């Protein structure tokens, strides 16, 4: 017994010594070999991880890449990054950043601006929409990687019966709602109290020629602009749809997937949504959820207009890549960004993960055109897209809108936009809590 205990103790000591020496060795290894860059990514199908591996392999040993996956929810991604960056975490070499957060992060000094010499590499051939979200105070602080936009999806049978053409240049929200009402069908939108609702409201306001907030570089002194004719138009459409028979029953709680299921249902006529819905519908056929005839009946067009005489400005999403300001390996991180955002990799990622590329030329690739029959509309939509307000106080702006515009059935012009403007201004000035 005694000898057993003794040998056990010896084994434990040996294990401790081994652990210590291994950790010492690893610590030494950090300085000698190529640096390992940590890239914080938003969850995807593994496409970013594959790009990371590929870029590390083609760097000729200049760097290794360790991919860390952030939480699912965009606001939780932001929370985690802000917490780490506020503590000057040097392990964040590279991050996949939602465009609305770029201004906030850059303003706080969390992002390392790209050298003027590199700017052309990251901007040439990039579509206009994502490009606008990559700058803060005239400095390029992020590189557009992929971009997203919403299209108008319609059921061919319904528009035929209603006698409208969603692809026509002057197709408006009013015409769409009227067509759906006439056919006793519904229009799918995202109107739950969340970021997706802000996406819709912002698209309506900018499509009407206005903006939700102006003078953004003034930080908390920015001016709410939503109480304007454009804001009123947006409120009229949101409230009007919510109170019309064309509103799906669950509209006040609808997120992307709810809009999709009502669109694919028997009363579906129109829907504004991201391009993933097309492949998702095909997958639903494969799993037996819907029949092939539903997919065959799906048509697509550019985001509808608010006024017939002004082209719509579709929503903009996607991911920008940014280098952390506290990284110990800025050169290697920039090299990784160059590799990931290159045109071939833009194409590869679009085909792999299904996320639209930020570079326009990607849409001319035959494989892309085959996988995305609506490639041209996606490209022009992303190019003409109206980004959400670019302000370091984006969270406050967005939440102010979401709080005052919910439930959509109570949205009225001009009362609601006016209320939003007052509330937002108070929140920005620290006179109200969110």
Partner 1 sequence: MAVMVEAPAPQTAEVTDRARHERRLGLMLSAPSFLVMVFVTAYPLIYAVVLSLYNYRLTDPEGREFVGLGNYATVLTDPVWWTDFSTTFLITVFSVAVELVLGFAFAFVMYRILRGRSIVRTAILIPYGIVTVVSAYIWRYAFQLDAGFVNQWFGLGDYNFFGQRWSALFVIILSEIWKTTPFISLLLLAGLVQVPEELQEAARVDGATAWQRLKRVTLPNMKAAIMVALLFRTLDAWRIFDNPFIMTAGANKTETLSFLAYRQNVTLVNLGAGSAVSVLLFLTVVVIAFIFVKGFRTDLSQVRGDR
The footprint of partner 1 (CB under 8 A) covers 75, 79, 82-83, 86, 104-105, 107-110, 219-220, 392-393, 395-396, 430-434
Closer CB to partner 1, residue 332 or residue 399? Answer: 399
Closer CB to partner 1, residue 147 or residue 216? Answer: 216
Cα pseudo-dihedral 286, 287, 291, 297, rounded to 10: -60
Beta partners for 126?
Answer: 359
Beta partners for 399?
Answer: none
- Residue 393 Cβ, how far from partner 1 at the closest point, in Å? 7
- Residue 83 Cβ, how far from partner 1 at the closest point, in Å? 7
Cα separation of 360 and 379, whole Å? Answer: 7
Task: Dump the DSSP string for 362-390.
Answer: GGGSHHHHHH-TTHHHHHHHHHH--PPP-
- Residue 19 Cβ, how far from partner 1 at the closest point, in Å? 28
Cα separation of 433 and 404, whole Å? Answer: 13
Cα separation of 308 and 169, whole Å? Answer: 8
Closer CB to partner 1, residue 172 or residue 425? Answer: 425
Closer CB to partner 1, residue 95 or residue 351? Answer: 95
Angle at CA of residue 168, ends 166 and 172, nearest 5°: 60
- Residue 318 Cβ, how far from partner 1 at the closest point, in Å? 21
Q: Which residue has the tokens 């299209």?
A: 151
- Residue 109 Cβ, how far from partner 1 at the closest point, in Å? 7
Closer CB to partner 1, residue 16 or residue 434? Answer: 434
For residue 92 the two structure tokens come to 């964040």
Task: Dump the DSSP string for 107-149.
Answer: HTT-B-PPPHHHHHHHHTTB-HHHHHTTEETTEE--EEEEEEE
Closer CB to partner 1, residue 156 or residue 220? Answer: 220
Closer CB to partner 1, residue 82 or residue 119? Answer: 82
- Residue 205 Cβ, how far from partner 1 at the closest point, in Å? 23
Closer CB to partner 1, residue 30 or residue 73? Answer: 73
78: helix, strand or coil: helix
For residue 169 the two structure tokens come to 């240049």
Evaluate the omega torsion of the peptide bond into residue 414 and state whether it is cis, within 30 degrees of 0: yes
- Residue 192 Cβ, how far from partner 1 at the closest point, in Å? 11
- Residue 114 Cβ, how far from partner 1 at the closest point, in Å? 20
3-state SS of 235-279 is HHHHHHHHHCCCCCCCHHHCCHHHHHHHHHCCCEEEEEECCHHHH
Cα separation of 161 and 218, whole Å? Answer: 51
């Amino acid at each position: 017994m005694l000898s057993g205990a003794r040998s056990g103790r010896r084994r434990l000591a040996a294990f401790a010594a081994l652990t210590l020496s291994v950790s010492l060795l690893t610590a030494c290894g950090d300085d000698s070999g190529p640096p390992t860059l940590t890239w914080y990514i938003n969850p995807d199908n593994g496409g970013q991880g594959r790009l990371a591996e590929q870029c590390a392999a083609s760097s000729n040993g200049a760097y290794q890449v360790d991919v860390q996956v952030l939480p699912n929810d965009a606001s939780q991604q932001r929370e985690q990054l802000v917490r780490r960056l506020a503590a000057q975490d040097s392990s964040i070499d590279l991050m996949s950043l939602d465009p609305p957060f770029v201004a906030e992060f850059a303003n706080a000094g969390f992002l390392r601006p790209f050298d003027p010499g590199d700017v052309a590499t990251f901007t040439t051939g990039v579509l206009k929409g994502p490009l606008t979200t990559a700058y803060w105070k005239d400095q390029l602080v992020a590189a557009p990687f992929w971009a997203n936009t919403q299209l108008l999806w319609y059921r061919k049978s319904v528009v035929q019966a209603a006698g409208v053409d969603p692809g026509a240049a002057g197709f408006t929200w009013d015409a769409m709602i009227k067509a759906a009402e006439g056919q006793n069908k519904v229009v799918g939108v995202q109107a739950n109290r969340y970021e997706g609702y802000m996406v819709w409201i912002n698209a309506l306001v900018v499509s009407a020629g206005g903006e939700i907030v102006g003078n953004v570089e003034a930080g908390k002194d920015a001016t709410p602009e939503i109480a304007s004719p454009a804001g009123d138009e947006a409120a009229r459409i949101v409230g009007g749809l919510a109170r019309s028979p064309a509103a799906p029953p669950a509209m006040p709680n609808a997120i992307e997937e709810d809009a999709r299921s009502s669109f694919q249902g028997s009363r579906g006529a129109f829907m504004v949504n991201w391009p993933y819905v097309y492949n998702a519908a095909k997958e639903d056929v494969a799993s037996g959820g819907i029949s092939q005839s539903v997919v065959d009946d799906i048509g697509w067009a550019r985001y509808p207009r608010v006024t017939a005489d002004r082209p719509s400005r579709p929503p903009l999403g996607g991911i920008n890549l940014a280098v952390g300001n506290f990284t110990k390996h800025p050169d290697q991180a920039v090299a990784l960004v160059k590799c990931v955002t290159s045109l071939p990799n833009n194409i590869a990622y679009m085909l792999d993960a299904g996320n639209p590329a930020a570079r326009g030329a990607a849409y001319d690739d035959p494989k892309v055109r085959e996988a995305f029959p609506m490639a041209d509309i996606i490209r022009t939509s992303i190019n003409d897209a109206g980004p959400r307000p670019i302000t370091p106080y984006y969270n406050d702006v967005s939440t102010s809108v979401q709080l005052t515009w919910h439930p959509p059935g109570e949205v009225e012009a001009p009362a609601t936009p006016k209320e939003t403007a007052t509330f937002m201004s108070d929140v920005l000035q620290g006179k109200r809590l969110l």
